[in-house]
Amino acid sequence: MKLHYFPTPEATNTLSTEELRTRFLIGGLFQPGAVIAHYTDLDRMICGAAVPTTAPVGLPTDKELGTSFFLERREIGILNLGAPGTVKVGGTSYSLAALDCLYIGLGEKDVTFANGPTGQAQFYFVSTPAHAKHPTTLARRADVSAAPIGDVTKANRRTILKYIHLDGIKSCQLVLGFTEFEPGSIWNTMPPHTHSRRTEIYLYFDLGDNAAFHFMGEPDKTRHLIVRDREAVLSPAWSIHCGVGTGAYRFVWAMGGDNQVFADMDAAPLASLR
């Protein structure tokens, strides 16, 4: 499990392109037959991916966790980005189709990932520390609906699908969902904002051969990252997080921190950006 230590805002402004990518961008998550996980020092969030092949794979038990098993003091949200697959929690198996989400609460010791009969499942997950147990809950993509927001004339018409949140799957602090765009819309989270009380992680997916230009940093000292398909961006509380794609894409967003109020954000007006 790789550890990520974040620089201060002041230090971030001095980083080269490669140094910026090393600190804030995570690639290579989806490796066949493996579980890859990255541990961050902001809100102790972990993000990773499980790609089973012929045999099931399980959550890691690396020493960085400081516990005897992954979910001893944690909760986790899992989104399937591939073909149908199965997540087994203890003695119960949950079948996840594409874009179905499974929440698993604190204390579940045995969690494994396996393929379904039709192809390659690809499970993306985000985990946060937890102080109480909430029940394992499955949310189907077909059962999650939301009205589009944004403006087609500004190329940001999109739908935000919330899975783990105050009015959905209950958790201690994890909030998770994904955003998808209408044809011709490519801007996300514009105008941008910061979360002074929460860390956020983006995973861009369904980019194909396109790229996303992800903007980060303090509003008056912005930086950017070129992001490819299924790469994640780590967004500390002081950083904006918005982007634009060269073509169609989706992105998973996940947050952890002081509260779970989705609208608790500090706006960064366009006029303030530099």
3-state SS string for the chain: CEEECCCCHHHHCCCCHHHHHHHHEECCCCCCCEEEEEEECCCCCEEEEEECCCCCEECCCCHHHCCCCCCCCEEEEEEECCCCEEEEECCEEEEECCCCEEEECCCCCCEEEEECCCCCCCEEEEEEECCCCCCCEEECHHHCCCCCECCHHHCCCEEEEEEECCCCECCCCCEEEEEEECCCCCEECCCCEECCCEEEEEEEECCCCCCEEEEEEECCEEEEEEECCCEEEEECCCCCCEEEECCCCEEEEEEEECCCCCCCCEECCHHHCC
The pLDDT score that the predictor gives to residue 181 is 95
Residue 230 Cα to chain centre, angstroms: 10
Give me the pLDDT at residue 197, please.
82
Show pLDDT as tens, one digit a residue, over the chain (274 residues): 899 999 999 999 999 999 999 999 999 999 999 999 999 998 999 999 999 999 999 999 888 899 999 999 999 999 999 999 999 999 999 999 999 999 999 999 999 999 988 889 999 999 999 999 999 999 999 999 888 999 999 999 999 999 999 999 999 999 999 999 999 999 998 889 888 888 999 999 999 999 999 999 999 999 999 999 999 999 999 999 999 999 999 999 999 988 787 777 888 888 888 9
> Residue 264: what pLDDT?
76
> Could you tell me the end-to-end alpha-carbon distance of the chain, in angstroms, rounded to an integer?
35
pLDDT at 118: 85
pLDDT of res. 236: 93
Tell me the residue length of the chain: 274
pLDDT at 190: 84
pLDDT (0 to 100) of residue 55: 93
CA angle centred on 196, ends 193 and 202, rounded to 5°:
60
Query: What is the structure's pLDDT at 63?
Result: 84
Q: Where are the domains of the chain?
A: 2-13+29-140, 148-272
* Closest among 167, 208, 169, 145 to 78, alpha carbons compared: 169
Give the per-residue pLDDT at 170. 96
The pLDDT score that the predictor gives to residue 258 is: 81
CA nearest 26: which of 14, 16, 40? 40
Q: Which residues touch 142 (CB under 8 Å, ≥6 apart)? A: none
Name the CATH superfamily, with its identifier, for domain 2-13+29-140: Jelly Rolls (2.60.120.10)
148-272 shares the fold of 2-13+29-140: yes
Q: Which two tokens stand for residue 150?
A: 């944004």
148-272 CATH pick, 2.60.120.10, 3.40.50.300, 2.40.50.140, 3.10.620.30: 2.60.120.10
> What integer pLDDT is reported at residue 267 of this predicted model?
86
Distance CA 149, CA 158 (A): 6
Check residue 155 and give its pLDDT: 95
> Of 169, 150, 173, 171, which is closest to residue 160 (Cα–Cα)?
150
Q: For residue 95, what pLDDT is reported?
A: 97
| pLDDT at residue 34, rounded to an integer | 96
Nearest 10 degrees: Cα torsion 41, 45, 51, 57: 90
